[in-house]
Amino acid sequence: MTLDEHGLPRDAVPSAFDGGAASYDRLVAVNPGYHRHLRRSARRLGLTGDGEGLHLLDAGCGTGASTAALLSALPKATITAIDASASMLDQARRKTWPPGVRFVHAKVEDLAGAGVRGPFDGILAAYLIRNLADPDTQLRALKALLRPGAPIAVHEYSVRDSRRARLVWKAVCAAIVIPAGRVTTGDTTLYRHLRDSVLTFDGVSTLENRLTAAGFTGVHTEPQSGWQRGIVHTFLATAPEAG
């Protein structure tokens, strides 16, 4: 059993999200830029047109915010959205979606077992990699699901390289995130995990190196805006071309 630095078992993370699922959308709605930043990362995939004929993977879709972001950029795309938390998926499925969207309850480590197979024309992985026990293996697995030359956008927190970003993140968690979690759910487990997992996760250069080591090409990072500048980033890369 793999633990994060502060003791939450990695295989318990989906259960923590289950506990926070009912209030999750209300909490993120008060986060300035949350949905706008997801839409920006979806656009940064660089896929043109309306998405017709494209099959996209939303890896770690949660309650569907990242799925909606993909649809905002590519409204006619077919989207397979996966998550390990059954309760988060229940919240997502209650929303209205076009017929090309399907939700699958699966860990990213077991996509083939859940019937999720590529090739995909693009992947958005939002707030996922930080929660994986073995990110290197799973990044390689995600690359294998992409058609040659197809893009991935990893939308993720990374504060380790910036003292300012770490201080801002700690202050926001202490003053807003954890108290709000306590009020809405009566349990701060998920929100303490959020704080701690971000603080102990890769710096920008380390995550870029992970993507390169996993076999991706064209690895680079683009910032987000507002108070989350330097805290949330879009890590962009492509699967290598055939041959």
Give the separation between CA 49 and CA 52, rounded to whole angstroms.
8
Q: Which of 165, 171, 178, 163 minimizes the C-alpha distance to 228?
A: 165
pLDDT digits (tens, 9 = 90+) for 197-231: 999 999 999 999 999 999 999 999 999 999 999 99
CA gap 212, 237 in Å, rounded: 8
232-238 vs 217-223, strand pairing mode = antiparallel
- Contact (CB, 8 A) for 102 and 64: no
Q: Show me where the domains of the chain are located.
A: 32-159+202-238
Provide CATH code, domain 32-159+202-238: 3.40.50.150
Distance of CA 64 to the CA centre of its chain: 11
Gap between the Cα atoms of 208 and 233, Å rounded: 11
Task: Enumerate long-range contacts of 92-95, CB under 8 Å, 24 or more apart.
Answer: 92/61, 92/62, 92/63, 92/64, 92/67, 95/63, 95/64
| Verdict on whether the full-model pTM lies above 0.85 | yes
pLDDT in tens, 82-130: 999 999 999 999 999 999 999 999 999 999 889 998 899 999 999 999 9
Cα separation, 230 vs 141, in Å, equals 28
Beta strand residue intervals within 84-157, DSSP E: 101-105, 122-126, 151-157
CA 230 to chain centre: 17
Reported as a single tens digit per residue, the pLDDT across 25-38 is 887 887 879 999 99
Residue 6 pLDDT: 44
Sign of CA dihedral 213, 216, 220, 226: negative
3-state DSSP call for residue 9?
Answer: strand
pLDDT tens digits for range 166-206: 999 999 999 988 888 788 777 788 888 889 999 999 999 99
